[in-house]
């Protein structure tokens, strides 16, 4: 792979996840009381836009790229439209908090902006993977070093807002106190009220600006043309991708991916309240969770070596067991230091399963359904899994909550057990053929 192509792919991944990382962390709590003030169903509508878009993308956006539109031009158009929508969302929020702070009368404008952004952004996650795989020589070796720049982009977008949203008038001058004490004050002394909410609106504006930048940059990416179907039987790329689920090892992988996506989303659901419960100061929770993202960079860099030595099945099993171990430690060792340290497994959970899955999908599925194949599994990772998690984990949590006290020791065994079940299913039933699998496409 030419160095210039490698750099372009890295920048593409950086900006792709910078966009997502800029607005998503700031959205937690931003839609409800104390900020925009939307009711429960209005918040549900805004929060469900992303996973629903992942489901829609499997049938429309990804199909369009595979059959009708070059990937880099689709990326440019999608990010331009999605970026304008997110700019609109952020600008409207900024204006709301500049005025009386009442957003309820403009809910449908907010919803339209979020829905349009998600509708155009979500397919680009599969498209960026497809562009990367189309332009790298050895996916097992080269995808990790390219994809890790997405993680760096996420961190680069989210961390600065910890300091941007700090109330610097209440923080000691740098150098006037011990560094750890200063950093703790900087992380924990946040703006409040209208000032905080207006500051958060810049996260959405930043995401919109980054999206438009990526739209322009996409036009410099290597040309990745569509591959029109050779006959009517394969005209629907998403249907061609789904046909491959007739192979037992892929059907097992599809089901296991659903379990893993549900467990993975459960980590984000449980993390904030659990870490605070075991004694992690609230101002350090966000940095504590970022330990996993930092570890993800390292595991992405060595993913090719791991795949070469362990193969598909054992690499994925280790990725899923990372969830089991993490939730197990949380359940049986409710210690703040252990709870934070075990987050290093997040890198293994993501790289060894999800990133490995993307590489395997690229090798197994026919090249003329490359984007739809990625979208088929993103349907689970970004769509159905998170939707299931947002119903399942709160329902189980209610069962183990009495007088507002949660029995985390028992509760956390459920996601740990689900991860173990998924690992056992892979061990027993997941046996992918060796080498290139184009012959397994079922194009008879």
The domain limits of the chain are 1-226, 233-444
pLDDT at position 15 is: 96
**What is the CATH code for 1-226?**
1.20.1250.20
Q: In whole angstroms, what is the distance from residue 280 CA to residue 285 CA?
A: 7
| 1-226 shares its CATH topology with 233-444 | yes
Per-position pLDDT tens, the chain of length 444: 688 999 999 999 999 999 998 888 778 777 877 777 888 888 888 888 888 888 877 666 555 565 667 888 989 999 999 999 999 999 998 888 876 666 767 889 999 999 999 999 988 988 898 889 888 888 888 888 898 999 899 888 877 877 777 777 888 888 788 888 887 777 777 777 777 777 788 889 999 999 999 999 999 999 887 665 555 455 555 566 667 677 788 889 999 999 999 999 899 888 878 988 888 876 567 677 778 888 888 888 888 899 889 999 999 999 999 999 999 999 999 999 999 999 899 889 988 999 999 888 888 776 666 667 777 788 888 888 988 998 899 899 999 999 888 899 999 999 999 999 999 999 999 988 765 444 344 443
pLDDT at position 162 is: 74
pLDDT at position 408 is: 93
Task: Taking the CA atoms of 309, 315, 317 and 321 in sequence, report the sign of the dihedral they define.
Answer: positive
Q: In whole angstroms, what is the distance from residue 26 CA to residue 162 CA?
A: 10
For 40-45, the CB contacts below 8 A with 24+ separation are 42/107, 42/111, 45/111
Residue 402 host element (H or E):
strand 401-402
What tokens appear for 357 in the block?
């899955």
Length of the chain in terms of residues written: 444
Q: In whole angstroms, what is the distance from residue 258 CA to residue 353 CA?
A: 12
3-state SS class at 220 = coil
Q: Give the Cα-Cα-Cα angle 225, 227, 231 (nearest 5 degrees).
A: 160
pLDDT at position 258 is: 95
- Kindly report the number of other CB atoms within 10 A of residue 60's CB atom: 12
Q: In whole angstroms, what is the distance from residue 61 CA to residue 199 CA?
A: 33
What tokens appear for 12 in the block?
């593409």
**Does 233-444 carry CATH code 1.20.1250.20?**
yes
Q: What is the dihedral of CA 176, 179, 182, 183, to 10 degrees?
A: 160
Half-sphere exposure of 340 (CA within 13 A, CB side): 16
Task: Give the burial class of 352: count Cβ atoms within 10 A of its Cβ; 0-12 exposed, 13-18 middle, 19 or more buried.
Answer: buried
Question: How much of the chain is helix, strand and coil, in % rounded to 5?
Answer: 80, 0, 20
Tokens 């490698």, located at residue: 6
Assess contact for 224 and 70: CB atoms under 8 A.
yes
3-state SS class at 11 = helix
Q: Which residues contact 111 (CB under 8 A, 6 or more apart)?
A: 42, 45, 46, 49
Spell out the alpha helix ranges (H) of 135-247: 139-164, 179-188, 193-218, 237-243
Q: In whole angstroms, what is the distance from residue 159 CA to residue 166 CA?
A: 12
Q: String of b and e for 181-194 (b: at least 16 CB within 10 Å)?
A: ebbbbbbbbbbeee
Q: In whole angstroms, what is the distance from residue 384 CA to residue 57 CA?
A: 12
Q: Which of 36, 168, 46, 39 lies closest to 99, judged by CA?
A: 36
Strand partners, 402: 405
């Amino acid at each position: 792979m030419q160095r210039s192509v490698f750099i372009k792919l890295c920048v593409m991944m950086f900006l792709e996840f910078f966009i997502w990382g800029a607005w998503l962390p700031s959205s937690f709590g931003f839609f409800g009381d104390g900020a925009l003030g939307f009711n429960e169903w209005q918040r549900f509508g805004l929060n469900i836009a992303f996973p629903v878009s992942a489901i829609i993308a499997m049938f429309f956006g990804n199909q369009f790229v595979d059959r009708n539109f070059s990937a880099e031009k689709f990326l440019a158009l999608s990010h331009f439209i999605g970026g304008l929508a997110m700019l609109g969302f952020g600008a409207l929020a900024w204006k709301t908090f500049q005025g009386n702070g009442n957003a309820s009368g403009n809910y449908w404008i907010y919803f339209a902006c979020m829905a349009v952004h998600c509708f155009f952004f979500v397919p680009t996650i599969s498209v960026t993977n497809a562009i990367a795989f189309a332009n790298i020589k050895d996916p097992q070796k080269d995808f990790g070093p390219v994809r890790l720049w997405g993680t760096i982009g996420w961190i680069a977008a989210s961390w600065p807002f910890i300091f941007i949203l700090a109330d610097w008038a209440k923080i000691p001058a740098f150098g006037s106190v011990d560094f750890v004490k200063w950093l703790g004050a900087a992380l924990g002394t946040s703006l409040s009220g209208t000032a905080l909410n207006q500051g958060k609106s810049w996260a959405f504006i930043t995401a919109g600006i980054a999206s438009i930048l990526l739209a322009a940059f996409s036009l410099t990416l290597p040309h990745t043309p569509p591959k029109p179907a050779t006959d009517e039987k394969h005209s629907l790329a998403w249907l061609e991708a789904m046909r491959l689920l007739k192979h037992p090892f892929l059907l097992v992988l599809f089901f296991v991916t659903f379990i893993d996506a549900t467990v993975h989303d459960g980590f984000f659901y449980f993390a904030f309240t659990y870490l605070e419960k075991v004694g992690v100061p609230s101002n350090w929770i966000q940095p504590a969770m970022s330990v996993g993202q930092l570890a993800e960079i390292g595991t992405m860099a060595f993913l090719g070596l791991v795949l070469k030595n362990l193969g598909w099945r054992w690499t994925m099993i280790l990725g899923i067991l990372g969830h089991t171990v993490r939730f197990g430690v949380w359940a049986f060792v409710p210690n703040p230091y252990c709870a934070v340290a075990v987050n290093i497994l997040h890198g293994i959970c993501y790289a060894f399963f999800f990133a490995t899955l993307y590489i395997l999908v690229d090798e197994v599925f026919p090249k003329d359904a490359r984007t739809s194949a990625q979208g088929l599994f993103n349907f689970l990772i970004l769509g159905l899994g998170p939707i299931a998690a947002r119903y399942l984990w709160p329902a189980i949590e209610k069962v183990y909550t009495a007088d507002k006290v949660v029995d985390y020791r028992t509760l956390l065994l459920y996601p740990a057990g689900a991860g173990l079940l998924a690992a056992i299913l892979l061990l027993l039933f997941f046996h992918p053929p060796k080498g290139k699998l184009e012959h397994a496409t079922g194009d008879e």
